[in-house]
Structure 1
Amino acid sequence: MRVTLRRPVAIAAVLALVVVASPAATAAPATAAPAPEAPGGVAGVAVPSLNWQDCGTGDGFQCATAQVPLDYRDLSAGTLSLALARRPASKPEQRIGSLLVNPGGPGGSGVGFARGVVEELPAAVAERFDVVGFDPRGVGLSSALACLDPEQTRAAFARMTAARRPGDFERGQAFAAEFHAGCQARSGALLPYVGTEYVARDIDVLRAALGDAKLNYYGVSFGTYIGTVYANLFPKNFRVLALDGGYDPESYANDPYRYDLGQFRATEAAFNRFLDWCAKTPDKCKFGNGNPGQAFDKLVADLDRDPVKDAEGKVTANGASLAYRIIFAVNGGSPSWPTLGTQLAEAQTRTGRLLRPIAANAAFFAANTAVECADRVYPKSTLQLRARLAIAAAVAPRLGPVAAYGTPGYDHSHAAVCQQWPAKQASRYAGPWSAKGSDPILVIGTTGDPDTPYQDSVVLSRTLRNARLLTFVGEGHSGMSNSACARQATADYLVSKKLPARGARCEDDPAPA
Structure 2
Amino acid sequence: MPIINRTAAALAAAALLSLTAPAAQAGGHHLSWGNCQDDGLDPRQRCATVQVPLDYDHPQGEQLTVAVSRIPSEHPELRRGVLLIVPGGPGGSGLNSPSSAVKRLPQAVRDAYDIVGFDPRGVGRSTPVSCRLAHGDLAMVNLRPWADPDGGVARNLDTARRIATTCAANGGPVLRSITTRNEARDIDRIRQALGERKLSAWGTSYGTYAGAVYTTMFPQHTDRVVLDSNDDPDPSRVERGWLANYAVGAEDRFPDFARFASAPGSRYRIADTPEQVRQVFLDLADRLDREPIPWPNANPEQLTGNVLRETMLESLHSDAAFPRLATLVLAALHGTALPVPSTPPDEAQQNTIAVSVGTLCNDVAWPGPAADYRGAVAADRAAHPLTAGMPVNVMPCAFWPYRPAEAPTRVTPVGPSNVLLVQNLRDPQTPYSGARKLREAFGARARMVAVDSGGHDAYLANGNACGDAVVTGFLADGRRPEQDVLCR
TM-score by length of 2: 0.85
- Who is 2:327 aligned against? 342
* Counterpart Cα distance in 1 of 2:96 and 2:143: 33
Look up the match of 1:412.
none
Equivalenced residues, count: 469
With over 3 angstroms needed to count, the CA separation of the structure-2 counterparts of 1:3 and 1:420, relative to structure 1, is closer
State how far apart, in whole Å, the 2-side matches of 1:175 and 1:63 are. 38
Q: 8 Å contact 2:224–2:478 — kept in the other structure?
A: yes
What do residues 257-313 of structure 1 show as CA deviations (whole Å, max 9, x unaligned)? 55543331212331244224423x142362424343343335434545234254899
Who is 2:397 aligned against? Answer: 418
- 2:421 maps to 443
Task: Trace 1:484-503 onto structure 2 (pairs within 5 A).
Answer: 484-503=465-484
Contact 1:162 1:301 in 2 (8 A): no
The residue aligned with 2:285 is 300
Q: Distance in 2 between matches of 1:54 and 1:160?
A: 38
Task: Point out where structure 2 has 5 or more consecutive residues left out of the alignment.
Answer: none
Deviations 1:21-58 (A, max 9, x none): xxxx99x9xxxxxxxxxxxxxxxx75474211121445
Distance change in 2, residues 1:229/1:314 (3 Å): closer
* Residue 61 (structure 1) aligned to one of 29, 45, 49: 45
1:195 deviates by 0.3
CA contact (8 A) 1:261 1:392 kept: no
CA distance in 1, matches of 2:436, 2:372: 28
**8 Å CA contact 1:161, 1:318 repeated in 2:** no
Distance 1:69 1:10 in 2: 26
Q: What do you get for the CA RMSD once the two structures are aligned?
A: 3.5
1:369-418 CA distances to partner (integer Å, 9 max, x unpaired)? 2211111222347234443333333333232345555xxxxxxxxx4322
Q: 1:90, CA displacement in angstroms?
A: 1.2
1:200 and 2:184 aligned: yes
Code of the aligned partner of 1:284? S
**193, 201, 215: which one pairs with 2:199?**
215
2:245–2:431: 8 Å Cα contact kept in structure 1? Answer: yes
* Cα deviation digits, residues 409-433 of structure 1 (max 9, x gap): xxxxxx432222213423x552331
Choose from 238, 257, 266 the match for 2:249.
266
- Are residues 228 and 158 of structure 1, via their aligned partners in 2, closer, same or farther at CA, if it must alter by over 3 Å? closer
* CA deviation profile, 1:435-461 (whole Å, cap 9, x unmatched): 513242111121111111112222212
Single out whichever of 378-387 and 57-66 deviates more from structure 2: 378-387
Where do 5+ consecutive residues of structure 1 fail to align?
18-24, 29-44, 406-414, 508-513
Query: Percent identity of the aligned residues?
Result: 28
What's 2:438 paired with?
460
CA-CA distance at 1:232 after TM superposition: 1.0
Partner of 1:147: 131
Alignment match of 2:237 (pick from 251, 254, 259): 254
Q: 1:352 aligns with which of 321, 339, 346?
A: 339
Q: Which residue number in structure 1 is paired with residue 448 of structure 2?
A: 469
SS of residue in 2 equivalent to 1:390: helix
Q: 1:13 aligns with which of 13, 16, 22?
A: 16
Deviation, structure 1 residue 227: 0.9
Aligned residue type for 1:300? A
Preserved contact between residue 88 and residue 129 of structure 1 (Cα < 8 Å): yes
Aligned residue among 217, 220, 240 for 1:236: 220
Query: Is the 8 Å Cα contact of residues 236 and 439 (structure 1) preserved in structure 2?
Result: no
Corresponding residue for residue 431 of structure 1: 409
Query: Following superposition of structure 1 onto structure 2, how do residues 38-53 of structure 1 map, counting pairs within 5 Å?
Result: 47=28, 49-53=30-34
Code of the aligned partner of 2:364: R
| Closer, same or farther: CA 268–141 of 1 in aligned 2, 3 Å | farther
Residue 480 of structure 2 aligns to a residue whose secondary structure is coil
Please give the per-residue CA displacement for 1:473-506, whole angstroms capped at 9, x wherever unaligned. Answer: 1111122222233222222211221102413222
Amino acid of the residue matched to residue 368 of structure 1? S
Q: Per-residue CA shift, 1:209-232, capped at 9, x if unaligned?
A: 111110111101111101111111
Counterpart of 1:131 in 2: which secondary structure?
Answer: strand
Q: Aligned to 1:111, what secondary structure does the other structure show?
A: coil
Distance 2:142 2:410 in 1: 42
In structure 2, do the counterparts of structure 1 residues 164 and 6 end up closer, same or farther at CA, with 3 Å as the change threshold?
Answer: closer
